[in-house]
Amino acid sequence: MRRSTTATAAALVLAASLAGCGGSSQDTTSPPATSPTSGSATASSSATPSGSVAALPHPGLFVIVCTGGTAGTMQLLDLDPASGAVAGEVDLTSYVETGPWTDASLVTACDPARPSWRAREAFDPTFGRIAISLPFPDDGTYRVGWYDVASGDVTDVTGGDVDSGFSGGTLRDMEPVFDPVSGDLWFERGDKTISIDPSTMAETDRGPFTVATNTDSQLGVANGHLVTTFGFVPDAEGKRAAGIVPGSDGGAVLRVLDATHGVIDEQARGTEIPYPGPGNECVVETWLDASTVIVGGPNGADCPFTKVDVDAAKPTPEPVLPAVTNDRLNNDFVAAPDGSAFALLTTAADTVTVYESDGSPTTDPKELWQAPATGLVQAVLLCWC
């Protein structure tokens, strides 16, 4: 899970010309080279993305790489899980440079405040659409929609005009995310959650969305289930979510929430499993399969990486990685489609690396891909899909 001291909405301001891929930095360092193949993370200046999302092979390890400041780049890489070779890439720099809407805010993977699974929701299942939101300061409205990667076209799903009458309301559609299974676009409209089927443009009221239950809430969706609890990771079916919380005895508790009325939040029913380790260091990284989660800490020193079968009669943490003694930060754990292995992205002072592991605590994970961190503002491992 991506770690941050804030849980603000994952929006990057396009008017800052890659502020989301470089903050206020004016670093124009060249994009990182990649290894072990000749595939490159270097973006072209073409007005259309290089490569085609339709041609990206699956299953693959999908990584977003953002570099530089005002001259930055944004790329989607598809890594071969067996070799680490760049099996395909799509340059999204033109999307970031030109922007679909003036002063648009983008829901993208380049925001370090956004956990990996929520970063995946910036894209539809095919990676052919990117969710966007747009504030109009002149009339106070907010609109949502998506950017089509292949054509560069923008679809505004909010529609309508501002009603300035006595009973009229300001259009405020916000927090757009894609359901990674159905491809529907979900977003917040006042105190409601709305979804739209891009193929038919049919709109569905998904019920209330209230952040009052948790100030760290962010809108998320997993296979048709609304997830509003920050720090909890949903399973592939979207029926349960797991997270580590402080226990009543000062230790840590692994809490598993069940979806109630299609919503996973603090009010959802669930079970609590005592977990050895400091509650402020351990987090749930990912679900390995339908009943097993991987738990760990930032570098594995304070909270070793283990797996836990949450449905076992006596859940017991079992190591899945060798003991870590370095200063690498381990993020973005993603499970293989069959649950037999997992990949993770680690960062150090000078490199960012993607590893693959079979879950053995006695064998070092296999290095698949690496890039120098110089000029690399953000890299996110989105999924093994």
Per-residue pLDDT tens over the stretch 153-169: 888 888 665 555 555 55
Longest dimension (CA), the chain: 69
Note the pLDDT tens digit of each residue in 315-342: 889 999 998 777 788 888 999 999 999 9
- Residue 120: what are its φ and ψ, rounded to 5°? -60, -30
If we measure between CA atoms, which residue out of 12, 37, 185 comes closest to residue 110? 12
65-85: average pLDDT: 83
Residue 284 has pLDDT above 60, yes or no: yes
Distance, CA of 191 to CA of 194 (rounded, Å): 10
- Regarding predicted confidence, which is higher, 156 or 1? 156
pLDDT in tens, 254-268: 999 998 777 888 777
**Model pLDDT for residues 28-42, shown as the tens digit of each residue:** 333 444 554 333 332
Best mean pLDDT range from 67-76, 155-164, 305-314: 305-314
Q: What is the mean pLDDT of residues 272-280?
A: 71
Secondary structure string (H, E, C) spanning the chain? CCCCCCCCCCCEEHHHCCHHHCCCCCCCCCCCECECCCCECCCCCCCCCCCCHHHCCCCCEEEEEEECCCCCEEEEEEECCCCCCEEEEEECHHHHHHCCCCCCEECCCCCCCCCHHHHHCCECCCCCEEEEEEEECCCCEEEEEEEECCCCCEEECCCCCCCCCCCCCCCEEEEEEECCCCCCEEEEECCEEEEEECCCCEEEEEEECCCCCCCCCCCEEECCEEECCCCCEECCCCCEEEEEEECCCCCEEEEEEECECCEECCCCCEEEEEECCCCCCCEEEEECCCCEEEEECCCCCCCCCEEEECCCCCCCCEECCCCCCCCCEEEEEEECCCCCCEEEEEECCCEEEEEEECCCCCCCCEEEEEEECCCEEEEEEEEEC
**Per-residue pLDDT at 378 exceeds 60:** yes
What's residue 63's pLDDT?
Answer: 94
Return the higher-pLDDT residue of 63 and 2.
Answer: 63
Average pLDDT, the chain: 76
- Residue holding tokens 């089509």? 148
- Higher-pLDDT residue of 92 and 23 is 92
What is the pLDDT, as a whole number, of residue 273? 87
**What confidence tens digit (pLDDT) does each residue in 174-233 have?**
888 999 899 999 998 877 889 999 999 999 998 876 554 444 456 788 888 888 887 899
Examine the pLDDT at 11 and tell me if it is beyond 50.
no
Instruction: Supply angle C-alpha 135, 152, 21, rounded to 5.
Output: 60
Instruction: For residue 368, name the pLDDT band (cuts at 50, 70, 90).
Output: very high
* Arithmetic mean of pLDDT, 144-153: 87
